[in-house]
Homo-oligomer: A and B are copies of this chain.
Amino acid sequence: MPRQNIYDNETFFAGYRALRERADNANNLFETPALLALLPTLEGKAVLDLGCGCGDHCAEFARRGARRVLGVDISEKMLAGARRENSCPRVEYRLMAMEDIGALRERFDLVVSSLAIHYVEDYAGLVRRVYDLLNPGGAFVFSQEHPLSTCFSGGERWTRDERGEKLFANVSNYSVDGERESTWFVEGVKKYHRTFSTVVNALADAGFVIERFVEPVPDAAILAAHPEQRDLLHKPDFLLVKAGKKA
């Protein structure tokens, strides 16, 4: 199966870095806090980060006491950024597609992935490989774009009233799993939509116990500072999942 590497595209990479550097981007407001809140204690643990990007999370895992952090990513550019900005003694960065983690021989107490899994076509296969890489009692924590976003297949994303206020999120083809092509800094970015049942059933079939789903929404403080985030009450941007392997 093909491994998509948009992050080594110059235009994509520049746009992505500029977006992530904004303090009020959706990742900083919602995704990262929700992901970190789902983590178990990391003292003395071995952690694998799938699609580690520029290594911000890997550095945080080391700060939280992990004895070993392996960050893998398909993008040389991302890993160069990680080595420049987030080098730490107990963190290793390695060029590897998420699809290829079956080749790893070590085992981990935690596998994490932040906003990367929607680029992977074979989700069920990935989930099985993660299960095999975990020690008993270990956990898999990941975030992805929300299924109500990934389902979208063209047209306008919102229905607005005459003043331009968002009334409805336009949902199409939610029930149809599979590839969606979109323009995000560059044309032809491929993401894979999965229904909630696909997300749940692959985890259950692999042997995971599903412990927590989170669909972050703005609290009162965020709404006061960022009133435009009220849209998330109609449709969340992210889904976060925590699943455990029995001890």
In the complex the two chains form, is B234's CB within 8 Å of A175's CB? Answer: yes
Scan A145-180; emit 1 where CB is below 8 A from any B CB, else 0: 000100000010001000000011111111110000
How far, in Å, is A127 (CB) from chain B's closest CB?
14
Q: List 14 A-B contacts (CB under 8 A).
A: A155-B168, A159-B159, A167-B170, A167-B172, A169-B170, A171-B235, A175-B232, A175-B236, A176-B233, A196-B196, A200-B210, A200-B212, A201-B212, A209-B209
What residues of B have a CB within 8 angstroms of the CB of A176 in the complex? 233
A174's partner among B169, B195, B201, B213 (CB-CB below 8 A) is B169
In the bound assembly, the distance between CA atoms of A195 and B212 in angstroms comes to 13
CB nearest to A197 among chain B residues: B213
In the complex the two chains form, is B215's CB within 8 Å of A210's CB? Answer: no
How far, in Å, is A220 (CB) from chain B's closest CB?
14
A234 with B174, Cβ < 8 A, contacts A212-B204, A213-B197 known: yes
A234 with B171, Cβ < 8 A, contacts A159-B159, A209-B209 known: yes
* A217 adjacent to chain B (CB < 8 Å): yes
CB nearest to A215 among chain B residues: B197
In the complex the two chains form, is B173's CB within 8 Å of A196's CB? Answer: no
A234's partner among B172, B200, B212, B232 (CB-CB below 8 A) is B172
* A97 adjacent to chain B (CB < 8 Å): no
How far, in Å, is A203 (CB) from chain B's closest CB?
8
In the complex the two chains form, is B159's CB within 8 Å of A168's CB? Answer: yes
What residues of B have a CB within 8 angstroms of the CB of A201 in the complex? 212-213
In the bound assembly, the distance between CA atoms of A201 and B215 in angstroms comes to 11
